[in-house]
A and B are shown apart, each in its own frame.
Chain A
Amino acid sequence: MSSEQDHLKETDTEDRFDFKKEEKSAFQTEKGLNEETIRAISEDKDEPEWMYERRLRALKQFQEMPMPTDWPGQPDLSEVDIDEIVPYIRPDVDVRAGVDDWTELPDEIKDTFDKLGIPEAEKNALSGVGAQYESEVVYQNMQERWEEKGVIFCNMDEAVREHEDIVREHFMTTCVPPSDNKFAALHGAVWSGGSFVYVPEDVTVEMPVQAYFRMNSEGMGQFEHTLIVAEEGSEVHYIEGCSAPKYSAFNLHSGGVEVFVGEDAHVQYSTVQNWSKNTYNLNTKRALVEKNGRMEWISGSMGSKATMLYPSSILKGRGASDNHITIAFAGEGQNIDTGAKVYHNAPNTKSTIESKSISKDGGRTNYRGLVHIADGAENSSTAVECDALMFDNESTSDTMPYMEINESKVDVAHEATVGKIGDEDVFYLQSRGLDDDDAKQMIVSGFIEPITEELPIEYAVELNRLVELEMEGSLG
């Protein structure tokens, strides 16, 4: 961690995340979900027939599948009523034409992203940036020099039109089919917006590509889809940030992320998410990793009433590897159920999972993990480490690692630690002049340092600030 992060103490307050804008939408669907809604979304986007059909199929699967209810320690989803959700809101921007000049955006959208620091982040060493407001990507910009090399970074709707073949092949087919789970099916039916990243063979995008998603309206659902295709020998780091202000009605976020890591390719997907405390955050994220490919998942999950999120990697090819680093923070009334899944389906595959959680004021964090090593995946190895930090005796943290090992020539390690924030540690720092709050803040930022050190500085600062605000209990 660098010294630039020291300044976190003196930042502005929670209102940076908690402001909301008056809704000004050009088009939105009715509440609830049925074939008409699906058709309305598809027509509003002027989609090809095949996409409409995929939506319909996903809708049917969604309707047939039961809600997950009986996992041990699972967050309560009884409040999630799809009939109360507005699945699609198109803000008043001509998204078809696309906006690549920030100044052309409507003021209220510009203000929102200004407050969130998006244009500033763009200036700082990013190769491309996209911003989604409600259901649509309102701004997209890719540096020219990457475009010249054939890198594509655009919103998903545009990708469906402009890069139809690639999307048709990869979109919710082999990686995250709608049949995967109830919320993947929901996502397949109503998905809107999101990012498409395509990196051609042997191209290395040295600077991160960034997208930011913002859910502004009350009672809406956000269902952005992220599709990353990294061809053989390519390399890219994609970063997503998300937030939503606080409303009395609940919001639903159900994103889908699909990553295709080609042979010898390397993809890092990083995300810092901060949802309002009434958002249900139910996502499906998966990577398919070919021979000697490398996938890295870095995620910070903050906010939300309940989160269920287990990024997964399927190591298909010999020598493929996966690295997960996750951090969760749960305060009062929150249940953050997160973890990782890795399928070792080929020999010499390797995975590491490092999960860290912080809970306070009765918050609940779970680590839910699955490592599957297939018969024949010899010489594979996995190491799982879960650390939980708790502030008080009311908070809980559960570790639920699940390992299916069907091959004997493998190396498997699991380690879990649970600790309360130590009085001795706090006293030590206090005796050096830090007050109680700063001492705790320092311990927590040290605890999450393995994540922050993996992120570009703006995100590391952002994550630290979010943690600090959570600790003060000042986020809505």
Chain B
Amino acid sequence: MATLELQNLQAEVAETGEEILRGVDLEVKNGEIHALMGPNGSGKSTTAKVIAGHPAYEVTDGSVTLTLSEADVADIDADVDEEDLTWNLLDLEPNERAALGIFLAFQYPAEIEGVTMVNFLRQALNAKLDEREELFEDEDEEAEAESEKDEGYETSPMEGPADDGDVGVAEFQQLLKEKMELLDMDKKFAERYLNAGFSGGEKKQNEVLQAAILEPSIAVLDEIDSGLDIDRLQDVSKGINALRDEQDTGILQITHYQRILDYVEPDYVHIMLDGKVVKSGGAELAEKLEDEGYDWVREEAYETA
């Protein structure tokens, strides 16, 4: 059971000092679906980026912690101490957070020319698995692992090694094929360059595919529904439900609209205003927003404040 917890999280834009998050509290466990809603500029995307470790934001107060259970670290090939089950994510690099099981699906994913999906995904998966082992290794083991690494090839490097990493080429091809079938994705995707020339819908589908491959404990999906037609919305929603149902991933679904919640039914809905979560409830909260907008939330929030 993995739990992501934000407590009184405050953050500003590193370059300008502009305050964005003014004390966000949230808790997401794996297997749950949370919707994070709010008007433009309320801090939803910033929350997502701060969780993942985006360098453009500086955290000024509060905490982001990830608590893992023993089951979550069953794959780790080392003794895991009790104290290693709780991580302060703010101390970690973005790739270390990814290794612990945090995934961020981007609203506007980067396009990387020249890097095929299949190469990227395999390298990402192997990097994640390696980093994961390293995070739980104590220093002696780390040194040992390093010395093993430094051996290099015995033959000329021009020959190239047979393979590297935990997941080999053939094994990965099979994994990718299965996940793409699950998401109804065209297999041509695998040989295309990462997001380059992808339509908006294809990019969103690709984000879900990556989550399916990397199997995070907690996936933060930043407006994954924006710019999708109804067919694609259904495809993407199917993928999100599969993450929860088959991988027990916890979902933090950031969205403006009720629309996606018709397909991805949230267990909890949180409303964000001016850098804070001001109201939380069940799925009915999203429906009320759809009917009545945010004004009533604003009134309620500032009356009580």
Which chain A residues have a beta carbon within 8 Å of chain B's beta carbons? 1, 3-4, 6-7, 9-13, 16, 114-115, 117, 120-121, 124, 422-425, 427-436, 438-439, 442-443, 445-450, 457-458, 461-462, 465
Residues of A within 8 A of B109 (CB): 428
B90-132 to A contact mask, C-beta < 8 Å, 1/0 = 0001110111000110100110111110111011110110010
Q: With the chains together, A7 CA to B126 CA distance in Å?
A: 11
The reply to whether B158 and A462 form a contact with Cβ atoms under 8 Å apart is yes
- The contact of B115 among A120, A121, A449, by CB within 8 Å, is A449
Residues of B within 8 A of A9 (CB): 164
Residues of A within 8 A of B214 (CB): 432-433
The reply to whether B114 and A431 form a contact with Cβ atoms under 8 Å apart is no
**B10 in the interface, Cβ–Cβ < 8 Å?**
no
B148-192 to A contact mask, C-beta < 8 Å, 1/0 = 010011011111110111000100000000000000000000000
**B55 in the interface, Cβ–Cβ < 8 Å?**
yes
- The contact of B114 among A3, A433, A450, by CB within 8 Å, is A450
The reply to whether B110 and A3 form a contact with Cβ atoms under 8 Å apart is no
The reply to whether B127 and A434 form a contact with Cβ atoms under 8 Å apart is yes
- 26 A-B pairs in the complex with CB atoms less than 8 angstroms apart: A1-B115, A6-B122, A6-B165, A7-B163, A10-B152, A10-B164, A11-B152, A12-B152, A117-B159, A124-B159, A431-B53, A431-B98, A432-B95, A432-B98, A432-B120, A432-B127, A432-B128, A434-B95, A435-B95, A436-B93, A442-B123, A443-B112, A446-B114, A446-B115, A446-B194, A447-B114
Name A432's closest neighbour in chain B (CB-CB): B124
List residues 216-251 of chain B with CB under 8 A from any CB of chain A.
none
**B258 in the interface, Cβ–Cβ < 8 Å?**
no
Q: In which size bucket is the chain B interface?
A: 35 or more
What's the nearest-Cβ distance from chain A to residue B160, in Å?
Answer: 5
What's the nearest-Cβ distance from chain B to residue A213, in Å?
Answer: 16
Q: With the chains together, A423 CA to B103 CA distance in Å?
A: 18
On whether A425 and B110 interact (CB within 8 A), knowing A1-B119, A433-B125, A461-B160, the answer reads: yes
The reply to whether A458 and B158 form a contact with Cβ atoms under 8 Å apart is yes
Additional 13 contacts, C-beta under 8 A, given A423-B55, A431-B106, A438-B127: A10-B161, A124-B159, A428-B112, A429-B124, A430-B94, A430-B95, A431-B97, A432-B95, A432-B214, A443-B112, A446-B193, A449-B114, A450-B114
The reply to whether A465 and B114 form a contact with Cβ atoms under 8 Å apart is no
Residues of A within 8 A of B161 (CB): 7, 10
Residues of A within 8 A of B97 (CB): 431
List residues 58-112 of chain B with CB under 8 A from any CB of chain A.
93-95, 97-99, 103-104, 106, 109-110, 112
- The contact of A433 among B98, B112, B158, B164, by CB within 8 Å, is B98
Q: With the chains together, A115 CA to B157 CA distance in Å?
A: 9
Residues of B within 8 A of A445 (CB): 114-115
Residues of A within 8 A of B112 (CB): 425, 428-429, 442-443, 446
Name B165's closest neighbour in chain A (CB-CB): A6
The reply to whether A1 and B114 form a contact with Cβ atoms under 8 Å apart is yes
Residues of A within 8 A of B120 (CB): 429, 432, 442
On whether A446 and B113 interact (CB within 8 A), knowing A7-B160, A434-B123, the answer reads: yes
The reply to whether B115 and A442 form a contact with Cβ atoms under 8 Å apart is yes
Name B157's closest neighbour in chain A (CB-CB): A11
Most buried by B among A11, A442, A448, A458: A442
Name A433's closest neighbour in chain B (CB-CB): B128
Residues of B within 8 A of A1 (CB): 114-116, 119
Q: With the chains together, A439 CA to B110 CA distance in Å?
A: 12
Name B115's closest neighbour in chain A (CB-CB): A446
Q: With the chains together, A10 CA to B112 CA distance in Å?
A: 22
Residues of A within 8 A of B165 (CB): 6
**B143 in the interface, Cβ–Cβ < 8 Å?**
no
Residues of A within 8 A of B113 (CB): 446-447, 449
The reply to whether B157 and A465 form a contact with Cβ atoms under 8 Å apart is yes
The reply to whether B157 and A461 form a contact with Cβ atoms under 8 Å apart is yes
Q: With the chains together, A285 CA to B120 CA distance in Å?
A: 37
User: A-B pairs with the 3 shortest C-beta distances?
Assistant: A446-B114, A449-B114, A117-B158
Residues of B within 8 A of A13 (CB): 152
Q: With the chains together, A457 CA to B158 CA distance in Å?
A: 9
What's the nearest-Cβ distance from chain B to residue A43, in Å?
Answer: 38
- The contact of B155 among A120, A424, A436, by CB within 8 Å, is A120
Most buried by B among A429, A432, A436, A442: A432
Residues of A within 8 A of B104 (CB): 431
The reply to whether B110 and A6 form a contact with Cβ atoms under 8 Å apart is no
The reply to whether B93 and A422 form a contact with Cβ atoms under 8 Å apart is no
Residues of B within 8 A of A434 (CB): 95, 123-124, 127
- The contact of A11 among B52, B53, B153, by CB within 8 Å, is B153
Residues of A within 8 A of B119 (CB): 1, 3, 6
- The contact of A7 among B99, B116, B164, by CB within 8 Å, is B164
On whether A427 and B156 interact (CB within 8 A), knowing A10-B161, A447-B114, the answer reads: no
The reply to whether A433 and B127 form a contact with Cβ atoms under 8 Å apart is yes
Name B173's closest neighbour in chain A (CB-CB): A3
Residues of B within 8 A of A438 (CB): 123, 127
Name B130's closest neighbour in chain A (CB-CB): A433
On whether A12 and B55 interact (CB within 8 A), knowing A1-B119, A4-B160, A446-B112, the answer reads: no
Residues of B within 8 A of A462 (CB): 158
The reply to whether B152 and A3 form a contact with Cβ atoms under 8 Å apart is no
Q: With the chains together, A5 CA to B160 CA distance in Å?
A: 8
**B46 in the interface, Cβ–Cβ < 8 Å?**
no
**B145 in the interface, Cβ–Cβ < 8 Å?**
no
**B54 in the interface, Cβ–Cβ < 8 Å?**
yes
The reply to whether A435 and B93 form a contact with Cβ atoms under 8 Å apart is yes
